[in-house]
A = this chain, B = another copy of it.
């Protein structure tokens, strides 16, 4: 994820605005455009193979959802863009897959950028995919980068089985449903991260290993990244709510407020994790230093006790002619008594001072 800080935008520098160049890594082999067309009674699903037919999707009274996976086939995308009358800048933004979440009003349609996060089931690596939504009068176009799998299956199922309100309400409600699916998915990501944070916290108390520092650091960077992905979403959703565009019906407003709440909650949780990680860094650093201090102290105490003893034995290793103690019968014993006395005295002193 570290590499995702900045994608290679340099190949775009100098090109005119609206120039269509795919920026980002190629996630899908073939572009796939699946179409769902539904109203309250009927629902049809097709795959758009001949893009010239896309014109037939326009002007229908039913709601049309064109879901495109893969953004590297620039000609195909351009055809769709022309068919739905999209502005060249929208087309450009769809292809630049390192956009931050945003909303732009183009009069006839709203252009919304989201970031869909997925966390590999085997690894903890979080990967991020750009989702562009175009919400028109009675159509929604969603463009994904094309990584395998997405979070929209529940929405598809709800359209298919016709339960709930989705089929009854318009394109704006579909757009809301897609955004809601993306935000709901953030909670799953955050739960996984939460588990890692808690595991790390327990580990830290029991065994503050140097690896912990790198784990904390990695989690901190993921938090920076998540924050960058989610924070602007707040503005996007509140922008949809406030907007006096006729594209968003008033009844959808309540639902958008709900997504807004969820977004705030995600941001709150990210901030809490950040605070916790900062606290853990403090704990880690002071644990390490406590531990080192404890070791050093004990070792120093041992050294300090033996240094005077070594001096004592040194005294009686001197070769002076006239050293009366050496002649005494109990001289050796006396030196042992003296040494044990000094050692005991120091131990008691250290214990009293709580140095040991």
Q: Which residues of A contact B (CB under 8 A)?
A: 2-3, 5-6, 8-10, 12-18, 87, 89, 92-93, 98-100, 102, 104, 106, 151, 153-154, 158, 163-166, 176-177, 180-181, 184-185, 187-188, 190-191, 194, 198, 201, 205, 210, 213-214, 217, 220-221, 224-225, 228, 254-255, 257-258, 261, 264-265, 268-269, 272-273, 275-276, 279, 281-283, 285-286, 288-290, 292-293, 295-297, 299-304, 306-311, 313-323, 325-332, 335, 353, 355
Q: Could you say which of B5, B221, B286 contacts A279, with CB atoms under 8 Å apart?
A: B221
- Contact yes or no, A99 B261, CB < 8 A: yes
Q: Could you say which of B310, B330, B331 contacts A307, with CB atoms under 8 Å apart?
A: B310
Number of copies: 5
- Contact yes or no, A323 B332, CB < 8 A: yes
Interface SS, A side = helix
- Contact yes or no, A102 B272, CB < 8 A: no
Residue of B nearest to A295 (CB): B355
**Chain B residues positioned under 8 Å from A185 (CB to CB):** 13
Whole-angstrom distance from the CB of A82 to the nearest CB of chain B?
Answer: 16
Inter-chain CA distance A210–B288, complex, in Å, is 12
- Contact yes or no, A13 B314, CB < 8 A: no
Residue of B nearest to A317 (CB): B317
- Contact yes or no, A89 B275, CB < 8 A: no
**Chain B residues positioned under 8 Å from A315 (CB to CB):** 313
Known pairs A17-B258, A303-B304; list 17 more (Cβ under 8 Å): A3-B198, A10-B187, A10-B188, A12-B184, A13-B154, A16-B165, A17-B176, A92-B258, A93-B261, A213-B283, A296-B300, A306-B310, A311-B313, A313-B315, A318-B332, A320-B335, A322-B329
**Chain B residues positioned under 8 Å from A264 (CB to CB):** 100
Using A198-B2, A314-B317 as known contacts, say yes or no to A299 and B302 having CB atoms under 8 A apart: no
Inter-chain CA distance A190–B5, complex, in Å, is 10
Q: Could you say which of B228, B297, B303, B353 contacts A272, with CB atoms under 8 Å apart?
A: B228
Inter-chain CA distance A194–B89, complex, in Å, is 26
Q: Could you say which of B190, B281, B296, B313 contacts A297, with CB atoms under 8 Å apart?
A: B296
Whole-angstrom distance from the CB of A127 to the nearest CB of chain B?
Answer: 17
Inter-chain CA distance A15–B180, complex, in Å, is 10
